[in-house]
């Protein structure tokens, strides 16, 4: 199976159909598959650059969002402010194709281009610690519960 290409799309440039399909994918993966009712619409999407992978029929099968240092959190201000990516989701039909890894690579490329030299701080599901570790991320917190799913904060130093 050929991995779909990844496009970079500003929030304002998303069509209504793309926005619908993006939110539907995230809902399928994070809410339905993981049985985790959480507030996906958190106000950060308008300020994010979105990465979208669509299959040959145009269905969105992978996504991520990249966030600059103006987001909320303890490392959001000053010269040491971090950048982040998240809401990385891959449709069940595209798992084991390398799309998740490609989305991380593209997210890191976006963050390096837009905010060179900034550390990247992510909140990762605990079971993905080794996956993100393969990119150089290291844990910076103890595991914690986030809406019933164990998470850990991880940092990539730049």
User: For residue 109, what is the domain's CATH number?
Assistant: 3.40.630.30
* CA–CA separation, 140 and 131 (whole Å): 15
Is 156 a domain residue? no
Residue 145 lies in a domain: no
Q: Decide if 152 is inside a domain.
A: no
Which residues fall within 8 angstroms of residue 154, CB to CB, at 6 or more apart?
Answer: 121, 122, 123, 124, 129, 132, 133, 137, 138, 139, 140
Confidence (pLDDT) at 1: 66
Q: What is the Cβ-side half-sphere exposure of residue 8, based on CA atoms within 13 angstroms?
A: 14
Answer yes or no: is 141 within a domain.
Answer: no
Least trusted range by pLDDT, from 76-80, 83-87, 101-105, 107-111? 76-80
Structurally, how many domains does the chain consist of? 1
Largest Cα–Cα separation, the chain? 44
Tokens of 82: 């971090």
Q: Which domain does 77 fall in, by range? A: 6-117
- Residue 96 inside a domain? The answer is yes
6-10, 38-42, 86-90, 108-112, range with the lowest pLDDT:
38-42
Local confidence band at 78 (pLDDT 50, 70, 90 cut-offs):
low
pTM: 0.92
């Amino acid at each position: 199976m050929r991995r779909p290409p990844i496009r970079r799309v500003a929030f304002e440039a998303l069509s209504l159909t793309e926005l619908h399909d993006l939110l539907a994918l995230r809902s399928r993966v994070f809410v339905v598959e993981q049985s985790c009712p959480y507030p996906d619409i958190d106000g950060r999407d308008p300020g994010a650059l979105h990465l979208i992978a669509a299959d040959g029929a145009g269905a969105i099968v992978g996504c991520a969002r990249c966030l600059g240092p103006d987001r909320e959190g303890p490392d959001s201000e000053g010269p040491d402010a971090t950048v982040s990516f998240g809401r990385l989701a891959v449709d069940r039909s595209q798992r084991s194709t390398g799309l998740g890894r490609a989305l991380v690579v593209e997210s890191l490329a976006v963050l390096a281009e837009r905010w060179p030299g900034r550390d990247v701080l992510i909140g990762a599901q605990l079971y993905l610690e080794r996956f993100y570790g393969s990119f150089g991320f290291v844990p910076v917190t103890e595991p914690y519960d986030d809406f019933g799913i164990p998470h850990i904060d991880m940092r990539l130093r730049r």
